[in-house]
Amino acid sequence: MKTEQIAKSYEPEQVEKKWYAYWEENGLFRGEAVSDKPAYCIVIPPPNVTGTLHMGHALNNTLQDILCRYKKMKGYNVLWQPGTDHAGIATQNVVERDLAAKGADRHSVGRDRFIALVWEWREKYGGLIINQLKRLGCCCDWSRERFTMDEGLSRAVREVFVRLYEEGLVYRGDYIINWCPRCHTALADLEVEHHDTESRLYYIRYPFQDKEGHLTVATTRPETLLGDTAVAVNPNDDRYSHLSNTHVLLPILGKPIPVIFDPYVDTTFGTGALKITPAHDPNDFEIGNTHHLERIKVIDENGVMNEMAGPYQGMDRFECRDKIVADLEQKGLLEKIEPYQNAVGHCYRCKTMIEPLLSKQWFVKTGSLGKAASNAVRAGKTRILPANWEGVYYEWMDNIRDWCVSRQIWWGHRIPAWYCQSCGAVHVAKEAPARCSACNSEDLVQETDVLDTWFSSALWPFSTLGWPDTTPELNTFYPTSALVTGFDILFFWVARMMMMGIHFMGDIPFKDVYIHALVRDAHGKKMSKSKGNVIDPLAVMDRFGTDAFRFTLAALAAQGRDIKLSEERILGYRHFVNKIWNAARFALMNLKEEPQQPKDGSYTLADRWILTRIGQVSRKISGFIEAYQFNEAAGLVYQFVWHELCDWYLEMAKQALYGEDGPVKDAARSVVHTALAAALKLLHPFMPFVTEEIWQRLPGTNESIMIAPFPQDDEFPADEAALQEMELLMGVIAAIRNIRGEMNIPPSKNVHVVIETASDRDEGILTRNLAHIRTLAKVDEASIGQGLAKPDKSATAVFQQTSVHVILKGLIDFKEEERRVAKEIGKTRKELEASQKKLSNKGFLEKAPEEIVAEVRARADSLSVRLTKLKQNLSLLEALDE
RNA sequence: AGGCGGGUAGCUCAGCGGGAGAGCAUCGGCCUUACAAGCCGGGGGUCACGGGUUCAAAUCCCGUUCCGCCUACCA
- Give the pLDDT of residue A103: 82
Q: Using 50, 70 and 90 to split pLDDT, how confident is the model at A526? A: low
Q: Using 50, 70 and 90 to split pLDDT, how confident is the model at A533? A: low
User: In this structure, is the CB of residue A566 within 7 Å of any atom belonging to strand B?
Assistant: yes
- Give the pLDDT of residue A528: 64
Type of residue at A150: D
Q: What is the mean pLDDT of residues A630-653?
A: 94
Closest CA to A449 of A185, A752, A824: A185
Residue A399 has pLDDT above 80, yes or no: no
DSSP type of residue A600: G
- Give the pLDDT of residue A586: 94
- Give the pLDDT of residue A712: 94
Q: Please tell me which residue lies nearest to nucleotide B25, judged from CA to C1'.
A: A568
Q: What is the mean pLDDT of residues A640-662?
A: 91
Distance CA A204, CA A270 (A): 11
Distance CA A690, CA A688 (A): 6
Share above pLDDT 70 across residues of chain A, in percent, rounded to a whole number: 97
Q: Using 50, 70 and 90 to split pLDDT, how confident is the model at A1? A: very low
A 10 A CB-CB count for A348 gives: 17
Helical pair A770-777 and A760-768, crossing angle rounded to 10 deg: 60
Type of residue at A543: R
- A103-133 tens-digit pLDDT: 888 888 889 999 999 999 888 888 889 999 9
User: In this structure, is the CB of residue A524 within 7 Å of any atom belonging to strand B?
Assistant: yes
Give yes or no for a contact between A138 and A57, defined as CB atoms under 8 angstroms apart. no
User: In this structure, is the CB of residue A771 within 7 Å of any atom belonging to strand B?
Assistant: no
What is the Rg, in whole angstroms, of the alpha carbon atoms belonging to chain A? 37
Give yes or no for a contact between A190 and A366, defined as CB atoms under 8 angstroms apart. no
How far in angstroms lies nucleotide B75's C1' from the CA of residue A405?
Answer: 28
- Give the pLDDT of residue A748: 86
- Give the pLDDT of residue A3: 40
Q: Using 50, 70 and 90 to split pLDDT, how confident is the model at A409? A: confident
Closest CA to A536 of A15, A56, A122, A127: A56
How high is the mean pLDDT of chain A?
88
> Which residues are A404's β-sheet partners?
A363
Closest CA to A184 of A96, A304, A346, A302: A302
Distance CA A205, CA A634 (A): 67
Residue A492 has pLDDT above 90, yes or no: no
Q: What is the mean pLDDT of residues A7-27?
A: 91
- Give the pLDDT of residue A721: 93
How far in angstroms lies nucleotide B54's C1' from the CA of residue A840?
Answer: 17
Residue A816 has pLDDT above 80, yes or no: no
Lowest mean pLDDT among A4-8, A139-143, A344-348: A4-8
How far in angstroms lies nucleotide B28's C1' from the CA of residue A743?
Answer: 10
Q: What is the mean pLDDT of residues A387-413?
A: 85
- A565-594 tens-digit pLDDT: 778 888 889 999 999 999 999 999 998 777
How far in angstroms lies nucleotide B53's C1' from the CA of residue A255?
Answer: 67
Contacting residues for A783 by C-beta, under 8 A, at least 6 apart = A753, A754, A755
Give yes or no for a contact between A25 and A10, defined as CB atoms under 8 angstroms apart. no
- Give the pLDDT of residue A881: 62
- A428-467 tens-digit pLDDT: 999 989 899 889 888 899 999 999 989 999 999 999 999 9
Distance CA A617, CA A75 (A): 19
Q: Please tell me which residue lies nearest to nucleotide B68, judged from CA to C1'.
A: A524
Residue A73 has pLDDT above 70, yes or no: yes
Distance CA A584, CA A683 (A): 13
Q: Using 50, 70 and 90 to split pLDDT, how confident is the model at A523? A: low
User: In this structure, is the CB of residue A556 within 7 Å of any atom belonging to strand B?
Assistant: yes
How far in angstroms lies nucleotide B43's C1' from the CA of residue A873?
Answer: 24
- Give the pLDDT of residue A288: 85
User: In this structure, is the CB of residue A650 within 7 Å of any atom belonging to strand B?
Assistant: yes
User: In this structure, is the CB of residue A633 within 7 Å of any atom belonging to strand B?
Assistant: no
Q: Using 50, 70 and 90 to split pLDDT, how confident is the model at A817? A: confident
- Give the pLDDT of residue A484: 93
Nucleotides of B under 7 A from a protein CB: 3-6, 12-15, 18-20, 22-25, 28-32, 34-43, 54-56, 68-75
Residue A269 has pLDDT above 50, yes or no: yes
Distance CA A293, CA A435 (A): 38
Q: Please give the domain boundaries of chain A with CATH numbers for all domains.
A: 156-166+366-401+452-516 (no CATH), 197-356 (3.90.740.10), 538-718 (1.10.730.10), 732-881 (1.10.287.380)
- Give the pLDDT of residue A2: 42
Residue A760 has pLDDT above 80, yes or no: yes
> Which residues are A519's β-sheet partners?
A563
The gap between the terminal CA atoms of chain A, to the nearest Å, is: 69
- Give the pLDDT of residue A813: 66
A 10 A CB-CB count for A378 gives: 12
* ipTM score of complex: 0.93
Q: What is the mean pLDDT of residues A666-694?
A: 95
- Give the pLDDT of residue A524: 61
Distances (CA, A) of A272 to A278, A462, A490, A833: 18, 52, 38, 68
- Give the pLDDT of residue A139: 96
Q: Best-predicted range by mean pLDDT among A378-392, A571-585, A802-816?
A: A571-585
- A580-635 tens-digit pLDDT: 999 999 999 998 777 777 777 789 999 999 999 999 999 999 999 999 999 999 99
Residue A686 has pLDDT above 90, yes or no: yes
* A401 nearest nt, CA–C1': B73
How far in angstroms lies nucleotide B12's C1' from the CA of residue A222?
Answer: 50
Q: Using 50, 70 and 90 to split pLDDT, how confident is the model at A716? A: very high
Q: Using 50, 70 and 90 to split pLDDT, how confident is the model at A90? A: confident
* A224 nearest nt, CA–C1': B75
User: In this structure, is the CB of residue A391 within 7 Å of any atom belonging to strand B?
Assistant: yes
User: In this structure, is the CB of residue A635 within 7 Å of any atom belonging to strand B?
Assistant: yes
Q: What is the mean pLDDT of residues A732-756?
A: 89
Question: Angle at Cα A746 formed by Cα A817 and Cα A639, nearest 5°?
Answer: 90
Torsion of CA A681, A683, A687, A688, to 10 degrees: 10
User: In this structure, is the CB of residue A134 within 7 Å of any atom belonging to strand B?
Assistant: no
Residues in chain A: 882
Lowest mean pLDDT among A192-206, A273-287, A339-353, A806-820: A806-820
Closest CA to A131 of A52, A27, A193: A52
Residue A879 has pLDDT above 80, yes or no: no
Residue A351 has pLDDT above 90, yes or no: no
Q: What is the mean pLDDT of residues A249-263?
A: 88
* A741 nearest nt, CA–C1': B41
- Give the pLDDT of residue A531: 63
- Give the pLDDT of residue A829: 86
Closest CA to A223 of A122, A123, A356, A316: A316
Contacting residues for A568 by C-beta, under 8 A, at least 6 apart = none
Give yes or no for a contact between A83 and A44, defined as CB atoms under 8 angstroms apart. yes
What would the DSSP string read from start to end of A97-135? HHHHHTT--HHHH-HHHHHHHHHHHHHHHTTHHHHHHHH
Quick one: A596 exposed, middle or buried, by C-beta within 10 A (0-12, 13-18, 19+)? exposed
Farthest CA pair distance, chain A: 121
What would the DSSP string read from start to end of A428-484? E-SS--SS-TTT----EEE---EE-HHHHHTTHHHHTTTTTS--HHHHHHPSEEEEE
